[in-house]
Structures are given as structure tokens and as C-alpha cells.
């Protein structure tokens, strides 16, 4: 396993520390407004995942490669709360299990629990499974900025974003290392089960579902929350909450981690 030295930014200050993790194809700047809204309450730590933003690429053979890059940040910031969006939420769970003694809180924002929703959308204009799959991963295949912005206007996870937010999202996608992205997508094709709550952990855990996103329906979100001993909070926003509703997300994070970190 080859660890990558990540590009990391610290933003804001406060009596508590919060590690904010972006999703696949995104970058740490997607979380700037969230971190700024939490200034005074949290000092936020914002890394770019390997192969994203300003972080160098590295081979991706398992999700553990991402986790090992992030573990030193978690240990150095102890005690720390972790909040991750989409794929970042998966990483938050794995980091919690890797270092349960130092993780005081976990936030999982709109995890992708209903993959069938994307498949239903993919089949709307496809005649073969391959065509449907290529439509689903379309944002990771497109290399032209204007076409990517237009594609995101129709894509279920980004359709609620305004033009400026779609542009920010597209720029991050185009900066991400292609091999890193596609190696990770291949892992998603046969996902390994994510761990449940680690034994003895007293961390406060919250699952945030976005009401205007197909990723985390209420029933699946409730089941995940029960499995993790977590609270379930519904936010009036879409999947990319850090771009479309950063202040709403920041307030929800503050409320979720009001004590214990």
C-alpha cells in the first residue's frame, strides 16, 4: 500500500476540530463555505483526496488506500469529528473504524444507498446495460467543460445545482486524475461491505439525507442510522449540499456535534 502525501488546508478556528471530506470527483474547495460558516465553533481540516484537487495520484487497489492517506490527519487532530459527503461519508465510516479512540463524532451526508435510482435513470435513454452504465458514470467520462456543465443539469445527483455550482463541480471533475477515478469506480462495481459501529465507541453519529436527492431514501437512511446507532436528519437540499446549501449543512453539523467533540 502506497501512502500519498495529501494537499491539506486548515480553515477557520474554534475549540473543536472537524475533518471535512469531499466526494468522488470533487475537491476541498467545495467545502470552503461550510468551513467558513463553522468558523468560531470548529477549526476545519480540508484535504484533497488522492488524485483529486492538488493531491498527487496514487494507485487505488481498495478503498483502504484512501483511508491510509487520511489516518495521519485523524490522529494528529484528535479528538476530531469527521463529516464526509457521498463517497466522503464512506471514508468517514472507515476512518472511524480505523481510529475509534480519537473520533468523537461522525457525519455521513447523503450516502449512495439507492444505486437502483441511478440505474433507473440510466435506462431511460439506453437499450443495453453498457449504455445505461456509461450514462450513469457520464460525469466521469466527459472531458469538455461546457458539455459537462450541461450534462450535470440533467444528472440526478447534480440537477438541483445552479449554473455557477455546476461549473465549480465540473472544474473539480476535470482536475481529478482519470485513472484514480476509474479505479475507484471499478471498486464500486463490487463494493465491499462497510463496517458498522466499532465496539466501545462513544462517538455521536448522524446520517444526513438530502430530501431532493435520490441517493438516500428515508427508509434506507433510517436503516443505516439504526445500524450505526445514529440520528437521521433530513435536509431540504440536493445531493451536493456543500455547493447548494452550505450554511444549512453547516448548521446541521453544528447541531449534530453540539456536544461530545
Distances (CA, A) of 220 to 114, 159, 235: 8, 22, 15
Instruction: Provide the pLDDT for residue 108.
Output: 98
Using only C-alpha atoms, what is the Rg of the chain?
A: 17
Query: Which tens digit of pLDDT belongs to each residue from 232-251?
Result: 999 999 999 999 999 999 99
How many domains does one find in the chain?
A: 1
Q: Is the pLDDT of residue 208 over 70?
A: yes
Instruction: Provide the pLDDT for residue 259.
Output: 63
Residue 144 lies in a domain: no
Residue 25 lies in a domain: yes
Residue 120 lies in a domain: no
Query: What distance in Å separates the CA atoms of residue 63 and residue 50, rounded to the nearest whole number?
Result: 11
Q: Is the pLDDT of residue 260 over 60?
A: no
Residue 239 lies in a domain: yes
Domain that holds residue 41: 8-114+193-256
Residue 235 lies in a domain: yes
Residue 22 lies in a domain: yes
- When the pLDDT of each residue in the chain is averaged and rounded to a whole number, the result is 96
Residue 180 lies in a domain: no
Q: What is the CATH number of the domain that holds 95?
A: 3.40.50.1820
Residue 157 lies in a domain: no
Would you say 48 and 25 are in contact if contact means Cβ atoms under 8 Å apart? no
Query: Which tens digit of pLDDT belongs to each residue from 58-69?
Result: 999 999 999 999
Q: Tell me the mean pLDDT in the region 93-122.
A: 97
Neighbours of 2 (CB within 10 A): 11
Instruction: Provide the pLDDT for residue 105.
Output: 97
Instruction: Provide the pLDDT for residue 2.
Output: 82
Amino acid at each position: 500500500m502506497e501512502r500519498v502525501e495529501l494537499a491539506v488546508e486548515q480553515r477557520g478556528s474554534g475549540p473543536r476540530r472537524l475533518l471535512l471530506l469531499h466526494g468522488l470527483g470533487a475537491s476541498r474547495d467545495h467545502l470552503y463555505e461550510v468551513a467558513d460558516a463553522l468558523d468560531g465553533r470548529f477549526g476545519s481540516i480540508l484535504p484533497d483526496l488522492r488524485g483529486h484537487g492538488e493531491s498527487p495520484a496514487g494507485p487505488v487497489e481498495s478503498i483502504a488506500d484512501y483511508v491510509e492517506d487520511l489516518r495521519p490527519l485523524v490522529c494528529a487532530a484528535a479528538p476530531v469529528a469527521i463529516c464526509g459527503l457521498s463517497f466522503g461519508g464512506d471514508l468517514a465510516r472507515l476512518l472511524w473504524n480505523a481510529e475509534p479512540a480519537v473520533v468523537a463524532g461522525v457525519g455521513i451526508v447523503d450516502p449512495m444507498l439507492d444505486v437502483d435510482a441511478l440505474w433507473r435513470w440510466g435506462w431511460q435513454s439506453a437499450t443495453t446495460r453498457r449504455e445505461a452504465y456509461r450514462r450513469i458514470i457520464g460525469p466521469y467520462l466527459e472531458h469538455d467543460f461546457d458539455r459537462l456543465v450541461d450534462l450535470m443539469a440533467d444528472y440526478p445527483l447534480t440537477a438541483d445545482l445552479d449554473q455557477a455550482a455546476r461549473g465549480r463541480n465540473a472544474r473539480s471533475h476535470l482536475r481529478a486524475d482519470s485513472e484514480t477515478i476509474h479505479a475507484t469506480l471499478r471498486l464500486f462495481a463490487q463494493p465491499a461491505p462497510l463496517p458498522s459501529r466499532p465496539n466501545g465507541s462513544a462517538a455521536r453519529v448522524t446520517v444526513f439525507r438530502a430530501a431532493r436527492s435520490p441517493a438516500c431514501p428515508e427508509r434506507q437512511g433510517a436503516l443505516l442510522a439504526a445500524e450505526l446507532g445514529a440520528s437521521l436528519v433530513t435536509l431540504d437540499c440536493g445531493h451536493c449540499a456543500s455547493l447548494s446549501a452550505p450554511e444549512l449543512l453547516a448548521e446541521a453539523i453544528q447541531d449534530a456535534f453540539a456536544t461530545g467533540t
